[in-house]
Structure 1
Amino acid sequence: MYCRFGRLGAVLTILAFIVAILILVSLHEFGHYAVARLFGVKVLRFSVGFGKPFFTRKRGDTEWCLAPIPLGGYVKMVDTREGNVAETDLPYAFDKQHPAKRIAIVAAGPITNLVLAVIFYALSFSFGVTEVRPFVGTVELASVAAQAGFAPGDRIVSVNGEPIDDWSKAHTEMVMNLEAGKVAVAVQTGRGEDVVRTIDVAGTPAAAEVIRREGNIGLWPFKILNRVGMVVDNSPAARAGLQPGDTLLAANGEKLDSWQQWTDLFRRSPGLKLAVDYERNGEIRHTDLRPDTEELRDGTLIGKVGIAAERDQAWADQISHRYTPGIGQALVMGTEKMWHYSTLTVKFFGRLLTGQASMNHISGPLTIADVAGRSAAMGLQSYLEFLALVSVSLGVLNLLPIPVLDGGHLVYYTAEWIRGKPLSERIQMMGLRFGMIAMLMLMLVAFFNDITRLFG
C-alpha cells in the first residue's frame, strides 16, 4: 500500500477516500433519514462512521454524529425491539409502521446511491465524452489476448453473442467472462474477414494474472509508434541522449520493428550495454544505452530505461470521437451507465455463487482508497466517475437479499406484508446469523485481496 500511496501522495489518497465515504455514506443514510421523517418516524441518531462519536450536534430529536471508523454509517430510529419506548413515542416507532412504509424507508438508502451515480456520471459527461470504437490497436506479446490470436486492426463485433459497440463494453465483457469458461469474441479482421478469437484461460494462472493486473488481458484500442514520446529526466535514455521524436531502429545490429520488441529487450537486459541505432530529423544516429536494474517483488531483475512511446494520433482520431452532451443527454447517458454497471454487478454476484467468477475480483477499503487517490490525481472528471462506480456498488450491494443488509430487511418486510404478520423470531435470528457470517467472510476476502494487491 505504501508503495502505491507514496507515488500518488498519501495525503491526496486519504483525502480522496474520506471525501468519497463522507459523500456516499452520508447521502445513503440521509435517504433513510428523509423518508423516515416523511412518514413521521422519530430518528434518534444520524451517524457517519462507526465507533464512539468524536463530534455530535443535537438538532430537534436527532443527534448528528461523526465517528472514527469510516466504513459505513447508520440511522437509529425509535424501535420497540431495541428497548423500552415511551408511550408518547409509540406512534413514531419504526417497527409500528405499515410494512410498505418500512420497505420505503429501507429502500431509500440504496436508491439514493443509484440516483447519485446517475448524477455523478452526468456531471462527468458534462466535461466531455470520448467514445472509443471497439478496434484493437495493440496486442501485448505473450499475453492472454496474443494467445487467443488477436491482431491489430481487429474490430470486435460481439463477446459470447453480446453485441459490442464500444471499447469499454468489449473489455468488460471479456474480463467478466474469463472464469466462466471459453470466451468467444467475434471480430472482423483488418482484411474484412469474419473470425472468432477464443480466450480459454478459466481456472489457469493466466486468469489470476489478469485479475492481479486489474483486468489487463494485453489488449488496447490505441496504437503506439516505434518513436520516443517521453524521456524521464536523469534516466538511462536521457543519459544516452535520446529525445522525444526519435525513432528507434536497431539494437546491437538487430532491427526491431515494434515498440513491444524494444520494451521486451529493455526488460530482459538489466545492466547490459546496448548499441542503439535511431533516427532524428532524417539522420541516422548511434548511442550506447545501459538499462537500470530493478528488482521485482518475486526477486526477478528487469531493466528500465525511462522512456515511453508516442501514440499514433492518426489511428486515435480514426477510432475515437469526442463531444460534449447537453444536460438532458448527459442524464440519459448517466442513467444508462448506472443501469449497465448495476446489472453487471448483479451478474457478478450470481457468478460468484455458481463458481464462475473468482473471489479475487472483490475489493475492500484499501483498494478503494488506492483507486480514489489515483482517480483524484487524474482530475475531477476521473474522480466523479470513481464516485459514480462506488455509489453503484454500494447501492446494489445493499439491495442484495442478505440479512444485516438493506436487501435482507426488504425480504423480511415484504414477507410480513404478504403474510399479514412478521416472520418468527427464530427465522429472523437464523437469517441474521447467516447474514453476519456471509458479510464477515466477504470482508475477510476483501481485506485479503487488498493486502495481496497492495503488498504483493
Structure 2
Amino acid sequence: MLTIIAFFFAIGLLVFVHEYGHYWVAKRCGVGVLTFSIGFGKPIYQWQRGETTWQIAMIPLGGFVRMMDETEAPIADSAKQKAFNNKHPLQKIAVVLAGPLANLLFAVVAVSICYLVGVKTLKAEIATVQPASIAYKAGVVAGDQVISVGGRPIDSWDQLQVELFDYAGAQTVALELRNKTGNTRSVELPLGAVSADKFDQHLLSRLGLSPFYSRTILAAVQTGGAAAKAGLQVGDTIVAVNQLPVKTWAEIQAAVLASNGRSISIEVERKGQMQQFNVTPIVELVDGVQVPRLGIAPEADRFKNQAQQLTIELSPVAAVQMGVKKTYQMAVLTLRMFGKMLIGVLSPKQVSGPIGIAEYAGQSASLGWLAYLQFLALISISLGVLNLLPVPILDGGHLLYHSYELLTGKLVPASVTEWLQKIGLTLLLMLMALALFNDTSRLLLG
C-alpha cells in the first residue's frame, strides 16, 4: 500500500509542477488556458476557476495544459489576442521551457531542503574489497578513503557512485586514495572490465567494493550449502582457515577463493569452545567464472558501520548552492547517460518505467520523508531533462519549432509538424515499451 501511495503521489506532484510551469508562464504571456489536467483520459473530478477547467483524469501517468490556439479550434475574434499561435516566438519558447524548468527548480528546492535538514549518507571509505575483484586487482585495499575520481573531489559513498557513472564507456578512471596512515596514492580502476549491461546501480559491488564492515561471526548459514553440510552454525566465530588466523571477513573470502574448490580446514569458536571442520566449497558459475562458495554470510560490525555514517548539514545559503550544484550535476549526468545508451556504451536495460519508479518510490518512502524527498528530486530532474530532448511531441520538439519560427519568421508547415509528431509519438511509445519490458523482466527474473 505504501508503494502505491508513494508512487501516485510522486507522479501527481511532479506532473503538477511541470504543467503548472507551463500554465504560470502562459498566463503571464497573456495566453488563455482552457484546461489544466493531471492525468489523461476521462476526467474523474473537475472544477472551474475563471476560464480554466481544472481536472484530475483517469490515467495518472502524465498531464497537459490545453491553451487557446486557432490551429486546434476556432476562437472568437474578441479572444484571438489570447491565442497561443498569435504570440511572439519568444513567448512561445518561454511557455514551452517553463515546464521542464519548473521540474529542475523543484529539484533545486527539494535538494536544498534536504541539505538544510541534514543529508545522511556514508563516508567514501572502503570497508571491504572482494578478493580477486576488479578493484582488488587494481590495488584498492580495505580501509582506503576515496578522495577523488578523475580529479574531482569525493565527499560521500553516493557521490563516488555518481562520479563513476559519469565515466561509463571509459576504459580506466583514476582514483585518488588515502590509506589508514594518511598516505595518498593513485590507482587506475579498469571500468572497461564491466560490461555495458552490468553498469547499473550495483556498480560498486560489481567492482568488489563495499562501505559496510563485517565481523567473522556467522549471521547466516545456507541450508544445504557446503558449510551447513560440514556442521557450521549461526553464531560460530571463524578464527582460522587452514591453520592461519583470520581477523576480517575479506581474509576468509580470500582463503575460500584460493581453495579452487578443494577442502579447507575451518576453526571456529562456539560457546567458548574451539572446534574444527573440514569444508569442501561448492563451485558455482557466476558471470562465466567458477567461484567456490561455502554458503555463509557474516554478521555486520555495528560499531564500525555506525562510524561510517555521515550527516551533511549546511547553512541556508550553502544548502541552496548545493541544491543548484547537485541538480546541475544530475541533469548533465542524465543527458550523458542517455547519450551513452544511444551509442551502445550503456545497456538500454537501464531504462526504467512505472513499475521501477513505483518500486523506488516505496523503498525511499519507507526510509522516511527525507529519503523520499531526495527521490522526488531525482525523478523531477529526469522528467525535466527528458522533456527537453529534441523529440517531436516533447517540449524539446516544440522548442525547435518555435526556434525555427524565431529565426526565419515562418511557421513550420503543418504537414511537416504532423509528420514529425507521428515520428515523435512512435519514438515515445517505443521508449515506454522498452521501459515496461525492463520493469517486467526485473520483476519476474530479478
> 2:145 aligned with 1:145, yes or no?
no
Corresponding letter in the other structure for 1:55: Y
TM-score by length of 1: 0.80
Give 5+ residue unaligned stretches, structure 1: 1-10, 266-273, 289-297
Q: State the Cα distance separating 1:422 from its structure 2 match.
A: 1.2
Q: Which moved more, 1:219-228 or 1:394-403?
A: 219-228
Instruction: Report if the CA contact (8 A) 1:179-1:357 is conserved.
Output: yes
> 2:386 aligned with 1:397, yes or no?
yes
Q: 1:382-421, aligned counterparts within 5 Å?
A: 382-421=371-410
Instruction: Report if the CA contact (8 A) 1:132-1:166 is conserved.
Output: yes
| C-alpha distance in structure 2 between counterparts of 1:32 and 1:103, whole Å | 10
Partner of 1:110: 100
> 2:3 aligned with 1:13, yes or no?
yes
> 2:338 aligned with 1:340, yes or no?
no
Q: State the Cα distance separating 1:143 from its structure 2 match.
A: 4.1
> 2:161 aligned with 1:171, yes or no?
yes
Partner SS state of residue 141, structure 2: coil
Q: State the Cα distance separating 1:387 from its structure 2 match.
A: 0.4
230 and 385 in structure 1: CA distance in 2 versus 1, 3 angstrom threshold: farther
CA RMSD of aligned residues (A): 3.9
> 2:367 aligned with 1:381, yes or no?
no
TM-score by length of 2: 0.81
Partner SS state of residue 314, structure 2: coil
Partner of 2:52: 62
Q: State the Cα distance separating 1:311 from its structure 2 match.
A: 3.7
Partner of 2:414: 425
| C-alpha distance in structure 2 between counterparts of 1:339 and 1:420, whole Å | 33
Corresponding letter in the other structure for 2:369: L
Partner of 2:356: 367
Partner of 2:269: 278
| C-alpha distance in structure 2 between counterparts of 1:263 and 1:49, whole Å | 52
Q: State the Cα distance separating 1:46 from its structure 2 match.
A: 0.8
| C-alpha distance in structure 2 between counterparts of 1:241 and 1:75, whole Å | 63
Q: State the Cα distance separating 1:310 from its structure 2 match.
A: 1.6
Partner of 1:268: none
| C-alpha distance in structure 1 between counterparts of 2:23 and 2:233, whole Å | 64
Q: Which moved more, 1:61-70 or 1:375-384?
A: 61-70
438 and 162 in structure 1: CA distance in 2 versus 1, 3 angstrom threshold: farther
Q: Which moved more, 1:53-62 or 1:390-399?
A: 53-62
Instruction: Report if the CA contact (8 A) 1:251-1:277 is conserved.
Output: no
Partner SS state of residue 53, structure 1: strand
Q: State the Cα distance separating 1:350 from its structure 2 match.
A: 2.4
Q: 1:182-193, aligned counterparts within 5 Å?
A: 182-188=172-178, 192=183
Instruction: Report if the CA contact (8 A) 1:136-1:219 is conserved.
Output: no
| C-alpha distance in structure 1 between counterparts of 2:270 and 2:421, whole Å | 69
Corresponding letter in the other structure for 2:42: K
Partner SS state of residue 67, structure 1: strand
Count of residue correspondences: 428
155 and 254 in structure 1: CA distance in 2 versus 1, 3 angstrom threshold: closer
| C-alpha distance in structure 1 between counterparts of 2:19 and 2:126, whole Å | 43
130 and 229 in structure 1: CA distance in 2 versus 1, 3 angstrom threshold: farther
445 and 164 in structure 1: CA distance in 2 versus 1, 3 angstrom threshold: same
> 2:442 aligned with 1:453, yes or no?
yes
1:256-288 per-residue CA deviation (whole Å, 9 max, x = no partner) reads 5433576898xxxxxxxx9873377xx456699
> 2:91 aligned with 1:101, yes or no?
yes
207 and 98 in structure 1: CA distance in 2 versus 1, 3 angstrom threshold: closer
Give aligned-pair identity as a percent: 36
| C-alpha distance in structure 1 between counterparts of 2:220 and 2:297, whole Å | 6
Give 5+ residue unaligned stretches, structure 2: 257-264, 278-286, 288-292
| C-alpha distance in structure 2 between counterparts of 1:363 and 1:207, whole Å | 16
| C-alpha distance in structure 2 between counterparts of 1:447 and 1:107, whole Å | 28
Q: Which moved more, 1:72-81 or 1:248-257?
A: 248-257
Q: State the Cα distance separating 1:139 from its structure 2 match.
A: 1.8
1:24-67 per-residue CA deviation (whole Å, 9 max, x = no partner) reads 10111111111111122111111111111111112221111111
Partner SS state of residue 55, structure 1: strand
1:101-145 per-residue CA deviation (whole Å, 9 max, x = no partner) reads 111111111111111101111222233134655332222345443
Q: Which moved more, 1:321-330 or 1:365-374?
A: 321-330
Partner of 1:47: 37
| C-alpha distance in structure 2 between counterparts of 1:29 and 1:104, whole Å | 13
Instruction: Report if the CA contact (8 A) 2:349-2:438 is conserved.
Output: yes
Partner of 1:77: 67
| C-alpha distance in structure 1 between counterparts of 2:427 and 2:63, whole Å | 19
Q: State the Cα distance separating 1:207 from its structure 2 match.
A: 4.6
Q: State the Cα distance separating 1:189 from its structure 2 match.
A: 5.0
Corresponding letter in the other structure for 1:126: L
